[in-house]
Amino acid sequence: MIDYKGLDLSPEFNQKSEKNFASAQSYIDSEVLKYLPDYTPIAMKRFKNRGKMSKAHKVDKPGIIINTEPTARKEYYINKGFSGANRGKFWLERMKADHKADILKGLKSR
């Protein structure tokens, strides 16, 4: 067990750490928004919102990115992936697998 008696933290430690975390989260959110359109499917011709799904990502709150298109939830789980090499279902997981190292490298360099 670790004894923390005698450990003095700076009075502004919490404020600085929260600010640093918020900055890091903002950077990660912006990078995810940058990469996601290449993985999000483009709706077929029959949909009047064709092409809008890949541009409909937004940050709902820090760390929560949503797609505002009505068919996004369905497409996330059942899309067949016919609309491009990277595009298809589970786009967030596939984007993270491809770009996680890039995002973390950029975060460390900030």
Q: What is the pLDDT of residues 24-81, one digit of tens each?
A: 999 999 999 999 988 988 765 555 556 678 888 999 999 999 999 888 888 889 887 6
Q: Is the dihedral of CA 68, 74, 76, 42 positive or negative?
A: negative
Number of domains, the chain: 1
Residue 13 lies in a domain: no
Q: Which pLDDT score, from 0 to 100, does residue 46 have?
A: 55
Q: Could you tell me which of 89, 61, 49 has the C-alpha nearest to residue 73?
A: 89
Residue 52 lies in a domain: yes
Residue 21 lies in a domain: no
Residue 94 pLDDT more than 90?
A: yes
Name the residue range of residue 82's domain.
39-108
Residue 80 lies in a domain: yes
pTM (predicted TM-score):
0.80
Q: Which pLDDT score, from 0 to 100, does residue 2 have?
A: 67
Calculate the CA 11 to chain-centre distance.
Answer: 33
Tokens of 100: 């996680």
Q: Which pLDDT score, from 0 to 100, does residue 61 have?
A: 95
Q: Which pLDDT score, from 0 to 100, does residue 22 have?
A: 95
Q: Is the model more confident about 82 or about 35?
A: 35
Q: Which pLDDT score, from 0 to 100, does residue 58 have?
A: 94
Residue 74 lies in a domain: yes
Q: Which pLDDT score, from 0 to 100, does residue 27 have?
A: 97
Residue 57 lies in a domain: yes
Residue 32 near residue 95 (C-beta atoms within 8 A):
yes
Tokens of 58: 């937004």
